[in-house]
Amino acid sequence: MDDLLQLTHAGKALDGAPEFRGTCCAGGPDRAYGGHVVAQALLAAQRTVDPARFVNSLHAYFLSMGRPGTEVQYQVRILRDGGTYALRQVTAFQGGNALLSLTASFKKVESGPDHQIAMPHVPMPESVPAQGELVDRFWSGITSSVIRQSVEVRPISSNSADENAADHGGGRDRCMWIRITGGVSSDHWMHSAALAFCSDLALARTVALGHLDRQVGGKPHQKLFLTSLDHAVWFHRPCRTDDWLLFVQRSPTSGGGRGLANGEFWTRTGVLVATVAQEVLVREKQALTADARPIPAATMQAR
């Protein structure tokens, strides 16, 4: 994972902003994986702050589609350096085209009241099949061999989850164990970036859970076009991404051409380490015309 997220310092842009460069893997045919761009943008921001600060949140908007294997420039603006918090804004460019706008907040460690909700009762990763229909279904929409080699996923059957797990009308929570397999350095910044990388793998498709026809075996009753519009992560506590994390997702609502997905990351010992949210463009493919067809994914031009 360290090699996958590697950045090089490229001096400063014309406006004096620190600049870093990297390349991103494919998330689909001829299309850069949005989670990779988010992770590298976060790393670029982290390189301009005091190492004693930990990232506490990021908010990103996907502006246009990137090309895998082509250099991406990350320009960092220093918005604030306070006594506890620091704020950075990163814009990712490729060939002069803006791909992503990300704002990240960093803070020093401090003590205070602590509470969290309980982790759902699910089987431990060792008892969840590493191969099978659920695994194949998960990877069916992800063509990148780089992601498959770097991330291991073990989806949990809905029949194995806690019988008291929430049912949200459009479907129960979707749960999976996930971890980085290629090794991650002990640097806490690298683990934060690796978590951001993983957080974009499944959220968009979770929105489709609310559009299932239970009368036909749970298959989508219509073909949907799904693409990420924005992405947010709140980092609650440090974690290691090369150990198993439980990723729980759900979609509380969709309508008006948009859907919302959110979820949580937990350690195997039940520590809540991050909360994520993503807004997704949702349209019926058969309803698209040449004039109304959306620009693909993380591809949306600024509206």
Closest CA to 184 of 175, 193, 176: 193
* Catalytic one of 200, 249, 251, 254: 200
Phi, psi of 291 (to 5 degrees): -85, -25
Of the candidates 105, 144, 150, 278, the residue annotated as catalytic is 278
Q: 257 and 281 in contact (C-beta within 8 Å)? A: yes
Rounded distance, CA 281 to CA 259, Å? Answer: 6
Quote the DSSP letter at residue 166. -
90 beta partners:
76, 102
Those residues whose C-beta lies under 8 Å from the C-beta of residue 255, and which sit 6 or more positions away, are: none
- Rounded to an integer, what distance in angstroms lies between the CA atom of residue 193 and that of residue 161? 29
Among residues 73, 75, 228, 251, the one annotated as catalytic is 228
- 2 among known catalytic residues: no
The pair of three-digit structure tokens given for residue 46, joined into one six-digit string:
């982290």
How far apart, in whole angstroms, are the C-alpha atoms of residue 72 and residue 13?
A: 13
Q: Which tokens sit at 9?
A: 């310092």
The two structure tokens encoding residue 206: 């979770």
State yes or no: is 242 an active-site residue. no
Residue 50 bears catalytic tag: no
What is the rounded distance in angstroms from the CA atom of residue 187 to the CA atom of residue 255?
41
For residue 281, the cross-strand partners are 227, 258
The catalytic residues are 200, 228, 278
